[in-house]
Amino acid sequence: MRTTALLCALAAFVAAVTAASGTAAAGATLFVDDDGVQCPNADFTTIQAAVTAAAPDTMIRVCPGVYSESVVADKPLRLHGQIGAVDAVDCFDPALPTADPNTQAIVVPPAGATATAVLFDLQADNIELQGFVLLGPTGSTSRGVMTSSAHSGYRIHHNLIVATTVAAYFRSSGADPSSFAHNCLRDNRSGLVNQFLPLSNARIHHNSTFRTAVFTYEQTPNCPQFLETGVFPPCSKSSAGMDRVLFDHNTSSGDATVYRFASSTSTTASENTVISADRAMLLFGSNHDLHIIDNDLEVRLVGLARGSGAGGTTGPEPSNFRVLIRGNTITSAPGSVPSVQTAGIGMGIGGLKNSWIFDNVISGIDGYGIALRVDNTDNLVRGNTVTNNGRDGIWAEAGATGNTFEANEIIGNGNGTLRGVDARDDAREFNVWRGNVCLTDLPVGTICGIG
C-alpha cells in the first residue's frame, strides 16, 4: 500500500512538473489545428508550438489547414498530417493539384521568409514525417524538407512536395537506416539531393516525380566547405557523398535529368521507371561498386551516360570503377532530336573502367546503342540486344582498350540520319570480339561472326 501510494504521488508530481514546464509527457499525442474548425479541441494552433512542447517520441497529429511556418524538429518525433488526402492526388496529372485546407495539412513558407526557408528542418534521430502538402508558392525559393548528416533513422513518406526550389535535402549519418518513400515530387526545380553532405544507409523508393526542371535525384561529393564558401577546392571529387543507398521502384515522368550519380560507394538503382526524360542516368565520376539493374528508361537524348566534359573550374571528372549495368531496357521517347548526338549507353572519355555491361536491351535511339570513348578500359560488354539504333550499334573509339565484347545481338543499326554500322571498333587490335551476332562492321569482316 505504501509503495502504491508513493508511486501515485510520484506520478502526480511528474505530471504537475510537466504541466508547469509546458512540455507534453512522453508517449502523448498532441493535436494541431490552425483555426480550430476540423479539430476544435486541438492543443496547439501551430506545428512549431507542438514540436517545442513535445517530449521525445511524441506523436503530433496535424489537422487540415494552412500552416505558414518553418518548423525545426530537434528531437525524435512522429509528425503526421493527412495521409489519405495526399495519396488521393494524381502525381502525374498535367494540371497542378489544388491545395485544399479542408482536407490537407498544407505547409507554406511564412510571410517574409528568407531565400533559404525550409518548411521542415529535421535535426534529430528517428523523426517520421508523413501526410503533408509542402508547397512553395510561385516565385519562392523554399526548400521542402532538410535532414541532418549528423543523425539517422529518418522516415519521410506519403508527402506531396510541389513547386519548391529543392524538394528535399536528404542526408544521414547511417547509424540507423533512413527512408524516403511513397512521396510525390512535382514541378520542383530540383528533387532529392544530398548537397555536399553525407547520405548513408538509406533507401529511396516508390516515389513519383513529375516535371522536375534540373536533377530529380542528385548525388554530390562530401564537401561541407562548399556550403560555407561556395568554392569547391580543396575538396576531392572522390570524397563519397553517398554510401549504401538504394534507389528502387521510383517512377519519373517528364523530368529533365533524373539520376545524377557522383562520388558514391555501394549504391544501387534497381527497377526504376523513367518516362519521357531528356536524360535518365548520368555518371559524373568517382562511383565505386555502383549497380544499375533492371531499370526501364524512355529518353529523348541519353539513357545512361558519362559526359566527356572537363568539369569546369572544379577539374576533370574522375573515372567510375566496378560499375554493373545489367538488365536495363532503354528506348527512345517522343520528341528526340536526330541531329543531336545521343546514346542508349554512352561512356565519355575515361568514364568506365573494370566494369560490366550485361543483358541490356537498347532500341530505337537516334544515336549510338552502346558507345565507349577513349580511355574506357578493361570492361566486359556481354549479352546485350542492341537493335534499330540510328548510328553504330556498339562503338569503341580509338583509345578504348582492353575491352571484351561477347555474345551481343547487334542488328539493324546505322539507319538514322547520321548513319553507322552494327559494330565498330577503332581500336580493334586492342579489344576482344567473340560470338556476336551482327551484319555490318568496321573494320569490315573483323567483328561479325568472329569467335
3-state secondary structure 104-165: CEEEECCCCCCCCCEEEEECCCCCEEECEEEECCCCCCCEEEEECCCCCCCEEECCEEECCC
Task: Report pLDDT for 100.
Answer: 96
d(CA 129, CA 124): 12
In a domain? residue 271: yes
In a domain? residue 317: yes
d(CA 341, CA 134): 38
Does pLDDT of 276 surpass 50?
Answer: yes
In a domain? residue 238: yes
Does pLDDT of 9 surpass 70?
Answer: no
In a domain? residue 246: yes
In a domain? residue 346: yes
- CB atoms near residue 257 (< 10 Å): 23
**The one-letter amino acid at 141:** T
**What SS3 state is found at 378?**
coil
pLDDT band per the 50, 70, 90 thresholds, residue 112: confident
Tell me if the bond preceding 137 is cis, omega within 30° of 0: no
60-64, 220-224, 282-286, 335-339: least confident range: 335-339
In a domain? residue 425: yes
Does pLDDT of 254 surpass 60?
Answer: yes
Q: Label residue 123 exposed, middle or buried (CB < 10 Å: 0-12, 13-18, 19+).
A: middle
pLDDT, average across residues 367-371: 96
Task: Report pLDDT for 10.
Answer: 31
CA angle 343, 344, 349 (to 5 degrees): 55
In a domain? residue 277: yes
Q: Is residue 53 within a helix (H) or strand (E), and if so which, with residue range?
A: helix 47-53
pLDDT, average across residues 209-237: 90
pLDDT, average across residues 243-252: 98
pLDDT band per the 50, 70, 90 thresholds, residue 417: confident
d(CA 402, CA 431): 5
Structural domain of 236: 214-451
Work out how many domains the chain is built from and give that number.
1
In a domain? residue 189: no
Does pLDDT of 4 surpass 50?
Answer: no
